Amino acid sequence: MRSVLLLILGLVVGALAAFKVSNVLHMRDAYPRGVMSVMQHHLGTLAQAARQGTCPADATQLHLQRLQAIQGDIVPAFAKDVGAKPDFRDHARKLEDAIAAALQSPPADCPALQKALSNIGGTCKSCHEVYR
């Protein structure tokens, strides 16, 4: 009986410890995941607007400006892992250029927005193929 109670107690303590360690490891990567999640939100919102055929220039420009602001956090967010690699920095620079190009000549209609999103998405995809 005593052995069974000690076994159950050991399993409970082990499960709690594993849960705590899992949470700590999960929180360690919160900043990089947050940066990518926010970028994904803005790209997704723009893509949805383009699919629906509702591409107001002011909302489009706002999301592109936010993408540009968040893009600056990519290299610092991944500094521990791959942020110091020159190739990673090149991918980040290409993304910055694609977003800047979209902002220099803001998409006035949905086909122009889809073209801009294709350029931005292509740079995201090329980096994700290597580093994801």
Sketch the domain layout of the chain as residue ranges: 30-131
pLDDT at 22: 76
Tokens read off for 34: 């947050």
Q: What is the pTM of this model?
A: 0.76
Q: Is the pLDDT of residue 23 over 80?
A: no
What pLDDT band is residue 27 in, cutting at 50, 70 and 90? low
pLDDT at 81: 75
What is the tens place of the pLDDT at every residue in 43-87? 999 999 999 988 888 889 999 999 999 999 998 888 877 756 788
Phi-psi sector, 53: left (phi>0), alpha (psi -120 to 50), beta: left
Helix (H, G, I), strand (E, B) or coil at 47: helix
Q: Is the pLDDT of residue 11 over 90?
A: no
The packing angle between helices 110-131 and 86-104, to 10°, is 170
Tokens read off for 71: 């893009």
Tokens read off for 125: 């995809």
Mean pLDDT, the chain, as a whole number? 87
Architecture of domain 30-131: Up-down Bundle (1.20)
Q: Is the pLDDT of residue 7 over 90?
A: no
What pLDDT band is residue 10 in, cutting at 50, 70 and 90? confident
